[in-house]
Amino acid sequence: MSIVKAHDVAYVRFRAPDLAMMEDFLTDFGMLVAERSDSRLAMRGYGESAVVHVTERDEEAAFAGFGIWVTSLDDLQKIAVRDGAEVSPLDLPGGGYVVRLRDPDGFVVEVVAGQVSADPIPLHHTPWNHGGLYPRQGSSKRVAQGPSHVKRLGHVVLGVSNFRRSEAWYKERFGLVTSDEIQLAPGMVIGAFLRCDRGDQPCDHHTIFLLERPVPPGFMHAAFEVADFDDLMVGHEYLKKASREHFWGVGRHYLGSQIFDYWKDPWGHEIEHWTDGDQLVTADGGGIGSVPELMGVQWGMPMPPLPDTKDPA
């Protein structure tokens, strides 16, 4: 039995020496400024999350942790008691309360409750016509040019030193469910896609992905859902014209089925656009995935070699 059942990931935190440079990149990526000061930049998307990306000014750029929502202050208190931690006010847009933990590899995990949602920003969706189904009749499809429209943070991917140890830590605290376990060979498990347990309410195929690799533990990427496929492709073209550093995509994953497009921020951290991912309820259970499925695509650009990652902050 887990201590609580988490609802979703909330935001990612970074450190960087130039907040203006980060703001320019994230604006091109499809986020909006939620709060800005000389020492911190908080960005939101077009959905209900008050903040999805936070950058603190620091001389050295680094991944600084991520937030995960629990459903109540009572759940937050349970986590605090389990780990001998304190419940503190959350000094971010939307407020609320937070318990700060470190996982077995030292990654900072901010457990959040009571954060007030933002008002979503409406986006116009023109229906898609498919073979045999034509919901768009009597009008043409015209896609507005510009950045993608980030809706929310979807998942965080971490390279870990001992997968089973990290898996146990996250499952014990947050009740995560395995969607696909990755086997290097029969019985040799190196990672898993984990999702939140929402009972009969659908959840993304993965909320956190943990992967054990023969390099030091480190941040791998953060993935943000965008409005739809057109939105992803328009954003791809916009980022190309802005001379942003592309990493992988466009393509469709096997595990999770998302259409994806990976970029790098000005300090080399991977950040992903995705859309059209699998939605699962708890009763859907999980399966076994292979390394070729993990690294392969159903269509699109093949996966580049995995880069080295930095030590966790």
Whether residue 311 has pLDDT greater than 50: no
Estimate the crossing angle of helix 73-83 against helix 163-174, to 10 degrees: 140
Q: Quick one: how far is CA 293 from the chain centroid?
A: 20
Structure tokens at 101: 């933990």
Using pLDDT thresholds of 50, 70 and 90, give the confidence band for residue 137: very high
pLDDT at 310 over 60: no
Predicted confidence (pLDDT) at residue 230 exceeds the cutoff of 60: yes
Q: Which two tokens stand for residue 255?
A: 């595990």
> Contact at 8 Å (CB) between 148 and 47?
no
Query: pLDDT confidence of 261, banded at 50, 70, 90?
Result: very high
For the chain, what are the domain ranges?
Answer: 8-117+150-300
Residue 313 has pLDDT above 70, yes or no: no
Q: Virtual CA dihedral for 53, 59, 60, 64, nearest 10 degrees?
A: -30
What is the per-residue pLDDT for 257?
98
The phi and psi torsions of 100 (rounded to 5 degrees) equal: -100, 125
> What does the pLDDT read at residue 125?
85
| 309 pLDDT higher than 80 | no
Mean pLDDT computed over every residue of the chain: 96
Q: Is the pLDDT of residue 199 over 90?
A: yes
**Does residue 306 register a pLDDT over 70?**
no
Q: Please report which confidence band the pLDDT of residue 1 belongs to, taking 50, 70 and 90 as the band edges.
A: confident
- Cα 124 to its chain centre, rounded Å, is 24
What is the CA 278 to chain-centroid distance, rounded? 14
CATH class of 8-117+150-300: alpha beta
Name the packing angle between helices 229-241 and 19-29 (round to 10°).
140
Question: For the chain, how long is the longest CA-to-CA vector?
Answer: 62
Half-sphere exposure of 11 (CA within 13 A, CB side): 30
Q: Dig out the tokens for 127 from the structure.
A: 């229906």
3-class secondary structure, 81:
helix
In the predicted structure, residue 245 carries a pLDDT above the cut 90: yes
| Residue 261 CA from chain centroid, whole number | 13
Mean pLDDT of 59-69: 98
Q: How many CA atoms lie within 13 A of 213 on its CB side?
A: 20
Rounded CA gap, 69 and 8, in Å?
A: 5
- Percent of the chain clearing pLDDT 70 (strictly above): 97
Q: What are the structure tokens assigned to 155, written together?
A: 């998942």
pLDDT above 90 (res 180): yes
SS3 content of the chain, % helix, strand, coil (to 5): 20, 40, 45
Residue 117 to residue 285: CA distance in whole angstroms: 30
Question: Nearest 5°: CA angle at 57, between 51 and 63?
Answer: 65
Place 187 in a pLDDT band, splitting at 50, 70 and 90: confident
